[in-house]
Structure 1
Amino acid sequence: MLHWLRILTAVLLLLPFSPTVQADTMNSRLGQLRVTKMAGGFDVPWAFAFLPDGAVLVTERDGALFHVRDGKKNRIGGTPAVVAEGQGGLLDVMVPRDFATSQEIFLTFAKRQGRGAGTALAAGRLSADNRSLTDLRILFEAAPGATGGRHFGSRVVEARDGTLFISLGERGDRPSAQNLRLHQGSVVRINRKGAVPGSNPFVRRTDAQPEIWSYGHRNPQGMALDLQGSLWVAEHGAKGGDEVNRVRKGANYGWPVISYGRHYSGAKIGEGTLKQGMEQPAWYWDPSIAPSGMMIYSGRMWPEWRGDIFVGSLKFDYISRLSGSPLKEVEQIRSSETGRIRDVQEAPDGSIWFASESEGAVFRISN
């Protein structure tokens, strides 16, 4: 009898660390899907990224970075000092394609700048024991800094040519998104060392920041490459007018001159919804869903979803699936776990993972 009690005790001790015992289901147009809690106990998980060995890196907005494997998480030291105020803090994490040789990871965060703060990008090397970052360096920071805790963006994406795209909000200063002398309200492009590529659209202009790739953005908190390598963003509007945009070199996306939303007061924004020389969104939501993390799916596990765009909603607690030409929202994927989704990513095996702020956890969706 004592022998069996010991076995039962050992099994029970193992259960909290086994993600398979926390599986649930959700409905979709492809039928019932399996939802598995992979790790929990996070305080505002903002982003995550996969390492080649199957582990996951997860950021918390208050400044913590975690290494997660088999449901167990360990905090990583050596992360940058962040301004964890309002929407600022430690934001995105990206693992580049050459991680196996470089051991580098990239982090976006709100960096102290005088009395204000700005979105910055740091790079560091993950130690062999996954416990710390070394050789931490700042590759980019928005200029100038701004006060207030709103609209930092911010995602970082590695382009096919190895350059880096970083999305920046306009920090609540609406006109700055149309001012090329400022980084706010733009997507910027730099190389792995932080230098400006000579092919950037405004690199030879004296009245523009050379890192800018596109501008007229409000607060892009989602960014991803499609299957052809083109860049897309999902960005917050005001009251209505959240947008999905295909990002083109040198293009102006209109904020705050044109918008499909209104100010929170109900007042009209800018000049309407159209203006020559300003881009139209590929899709917009009205009412706003507060879009966050964004992923464009390969079709590896679900071929029917190949090329579809998945965007997390902070406001309505679902994953929006967009498809077609013209692009439109075709499905809202939700369950009890999809509360205030901060990030959505495709895993190497084709499963879809998401980070829920409400649950303080990272989940996996699979067949």
Structure 2
Amino acid sequence: MNRSTIVIAAGLSALVASPVWSDQTFSSNKTDFQIETVAQGLEHPWSLTFLPDGTMLVTEREGRLRRIENGNLVREPVRGLPDLVASGQGGLLDVVLHPQFENNQTLFLSYAHRNSDGMTTRVARATYNGEALENVEVIFEALPRSSNGRHFAGRMVFDQSGHLYVAIGDRGEMDRAQDNRDDAGGVHRISTNGDAIADNPFMDDSRTNNTFYTFGNRNIQGMTLHPDTGEVWSHEHGPRGGDEINIIRAGNDYGWPKVTYGIDYSGIPISDKTTLDGVTDPLHYWDPSIAPSGMAFYTGDLFPQWRGDVFVGALRSQKVVRLTINNEQVIEEEDLLTNLGERIRDVRMGPDGALWLLTDSRQGKVYRVVPAE
């Protein structure tokens, strides 16, 4: 554990000194655990991040960035957010810290934005001063825009080299995911200034935006780094069935909508194929759909039995899924918290060794998963 992690963990220990405990003990195949409510009353919380001083920042899809300090949800939202729109599935989405946040207080937000041409997903960089955002600058915008309010994606993650990966959904217009003249339906890899990375896979293709890293992705709602390989892992929503876990690799086509394990919401087949030459097959898929959202590898000390497992939240199925992986194969799958009755929007590995969850509702909560007493 490095010095930054120790400082954050110490701050979080103080922050959750007086949690609201669940009196119920939950069981998994490997260990027993409990959950504590750290905050509640959040309107559709979407993403969570941990600051070095122990403060947490939580996005609300309706367009607010909230602070949790000393065990309390601060009533006043963080000021100075960029212009955004909360419409359909869009709003304020992900928040991630610059890899050198301790030195530059810089963070990044993804969100939906509307103008006369329609809506899209944007990414902005800003400086956080403890109460407000300053020096807000839009560094990425997916084009073209469209009028519908679906599939903004918006998950982001930094890799070990400091490159920012940004997921953009197909915007509910499936064929856009195979048109690389269009920014929808893929993962873009950019610098902290928004520039394309020099070795991005389509730099020499004049027909493709040079920020593209992958394409054929429907609507990614979870991204995280593998703790050993450093690779970006993701999951995305299928239609009726066909939710996928993928490893994000340069230039890969993940197939949507040419191949899928799902069908259209109308019941009509989308494709009669689940694999094709030149398409990257998913590492794992769900049929029927669980509507995955949020994703984290467990790397802490509180649950040594879980170390290395992947945890995925589920909106439709209202649960957390634990996956044990061996050589890029799922060898065990277990459903957790199935009787909680909560849509799980985000799953985060906390620097304190706990697993952290956000629930998606008008009275959303921040949960901390800890060993049973």
Q: TM-score, normalised by structure 2?
A: 0.90
Residue-by-residue CA offset, 1:90-146 (whole Å, 9 max, x unaligned): 00011233111010111100012433111111111111xx21000001110101111
- Residue matched to 1:133: 133
Matches of 2:219 and 2:194, distance apart in 1: 22
Contact residue 20 and residue 38 of structure 2 kept, 8 A: no
> Residue 328 of structure 1: CA displacement?
5.1
- Residue matched to 1:273: 274
Q: 1:245 to 1:146 in 2, by over 3 A?
A: same
SS at match of 2:93: strand
- Residue matched to 1:168: 168
SS at match of 1:119: strand
> Residue 336 of structure 1: CA displacement?
5.2
SS at match of 2:213: strand
> Residue 18 of structure 1: CA displacement?
6.2
Q: 1:338 to 1:162 in 2, by over 3 A?
A: farther
Relative contact order (alpha carbons < 8 A, sep ≥ 6): 1 or 2 greater?
A: 2
Contact residue 58 and residue 66 of structure 2 kept, 8 A: yes
Q: 1:329 to 1:293 in 2, by over 3 A?
A: farther
Matches of 1:201 and 1:21, distance apart in 2: 48
Matches of 1:21 and 1:245, distance apart in 2: 36
SS at match of 1:327: strand
- Residue matched to 2:252: 251
Q: 2:343 aligns with which of 331, 340, 343?
A: 340
Of residues 351-360 and 38-47 in structure 1, the stretch that sits farther from structure 2 once superposed is: 351-360
- Residue matched to 1:37: 37
The reply to whether residue 231 of structure 1 matches residue 219 of structure 2 is no
> Residue 156 of structure 1: CA displacement?
0.9
Q: 1:365 aligns with which of 360, 364, 369?
A: 369
Matches of 2:30 and 2:279, distance apart in 1: 37
Of residues 256-265 and 327-336 in structure 1, the stretch that sits farther from structure 2 once superposed is: 327-336
Contact residue 299 and residue 307 of structure 1 kept, 8 A: no
> Residue 337 of structure 1: CA displacement?
4.4
Residue-by-residue CA offset, 1:230-284 (whole Å, 9 max, x unaligned): 0111100011100001111000000000001111122221241111000100000
Aligned residues: 349
| Structure 1 alignment gaps of length 5 or more | 1-16
- Residue matched to 2:3: none
Matches of 1:124 and 1:23, distance apart in 2: 37
> Residue 340 of structure 1: CA displacement?
0.6
Q: 1:329 to 1:140 in 2, by over 3 A?
A: farther
- Residue matched to 1:284: 285
Matches of 2:90 and 2:236, distance apart in 1: 16
Greater radius of gyration (CA): 1
Contact residue 59 and residue 93 of structure 1 kept, 8 A: yes
Residue 55 of structure 1 aligns with an amino acid whose one-letter code is: T
The reply to whether residue 120 of structure 1 matches residue 122 of structure 2 is yes
Contact residue 319 and residue 340 of structure 2 kept, 8 A: no
- Residue matched to 1:349: 352
- Residue matched to 1:296: 297
Q: Please report the RMSD computed on the Cα atoms of aligned residues, expressed in angstroms.
A: 1.5
Contact residue 76 and residue 131 of structure 1 kept, 8 A: yes
Q: How does 1:79-118 map to 2 (within 5 A)?
A: 79-118=81-120
Q: TM-score, normalised by structure 1?
A: 0.92
Residue 250 of structure 1 aligns with an amino acid whose one-letter code is: G
Matches of 1:341 and 1:330, distance apart in 2: 17
Matches of 1:329 and 1:151, distance apart in 2: 29
Matches of 2:126 and 2:108, distance apart in 1: 7
Matches of 1:165 and 1:185, distance apart in 2: 13
Contact residue 300 and residue 354 of structure 2 kept, 8 A: no
Matches of 1:242 and 1:329, distance apart in 2: 17
Contact residue 31 and residue 305 of structure 2 kept, 8 A: no
Matches of 2:295 and 2:325, distance apart in 1: 17
Matches of 1:335 and 1:278, distance apart in 2: 34
Matches of 1:146 and 1:339, distance apart in 2: 31
Matches of 1:309 and 1:32, distance apart in 2: 17
SS at match of 1:110: strand
The reply to whether residue 149 of structure 1 matches residue 152 of structure 2 is no
Contact residue 320 and residue 338 of structure 2 kept, 8 A: no
Of residues 104-113 and 149-158 in structure 1, the stretch that sits farther from structure 2 once superposed is: 104-113
Of residues 27-36 and 240-249 in structure 1, the stretch that sits farther from structure 2 once superposed is: 27-36
